[in-house]
Amino acid sequence: MSDGVKTILFATALCVVCSLLLTMAATGLKAYQRENALVDRQKNILKSVGAVSPTQSYTGEEIKALYREHIKCVTVGQGGEVLSADAAPAETMPLYLYEEDGATQFYIIPVNSRGLWGRIYGYLALETDGSTIAGFTVYQHSETPGLGGEIENRWFQRNFVGKQIVDEDGNFVSIGIAKGAVKDAVRQDLQPHYVDGISGATMTGKYLTEGLEDILKTYEPVSVHFRNRGMLKLPENALVCQPPS
């Protein structure tokens, strides 16, 4: 057998072995990756209401324990009502309730918005007055680091706390990202509904503003329930949604 043939056979065998090893590694790590993704989603839900500190490290078991203790995920219909397990409507939405001592303290809406380079995923938490934002987190995006990627940083996210999604008359107005600092770019009467923008990331702010408006409009019937009643009525056999994945 010539040296050339031996080289080809060796290279082929090496490729096959490496492919098998990579396949085995990918398969073996899949469950671990799914578990990490689940914990990350749960951590972001908790972080949106300040239940975990962004500067503190937590084990996966600690996050899951906090999630089980405080978060209830229910399914709501287009009218904003919590559905019972007997209901089977065509369109449903998940809603996360943060509870302390059996009482709902916040409700949390999943965010799935267009970005400049891809989808932006996160959570937006509101107080039970149905109008005040309690927190905002992003757990996945494709925005440019140092520019639109700043949406994942604490300085940007904490600007949402205390902002209002309704005006003084109770009309829905959503929340927007300003083109620059709110105090400089937005007239005073609208400032409660805007957060500071990111320098050099105008399009990310534009798309996220549009996405948040669409999402908040979709969940507006839920917010109306909270604004009018101060609480969301849960049927005894409430339809529980699946954990975030």
Q: What is the pLDDT of residue 243?
A: 61
Q: What is the pLDDT of residue 24?
A: 58
Q: What is the pLDDT of residue 54?
A: 81
**60-70 and 3-47 helices, crossing angle to 10°:** 40
Q: What are the percentages of helix, strand and coil residues in the chain, rounded to 5?
A: 45, 20, 35
Q: Which residue has the tokens 């990350």?
A: 40
CB 198 within 8 A of CB 182: no
**220-229 and 202-218 helices, crossing angle to 10°:** 60
Q: What is the pLDDT of residue 91?
A: 77
Q: What pairing do the DSSP bridges indicate for beta strands 133-140 and 119-127?
A: antiparallel
Q: What is the pLDDT of residue 144?
A: 95
Q: What is the pLDDT of residue 179?
A: 94
Q: For the chain, what is the total number of helices (H) and then of strands (E)?
A: 6, 7
Residues of the chain with pLDDT under 70: 1-30, 88-90, 242-245
Q: What is the pLDDT of residue 31?
A: 72
| pLDDT tens string 84-115 | 877 766 678 999 999 999 899 999 999 999 99
Q: What is the pLDDT of residue 134?
A: 98
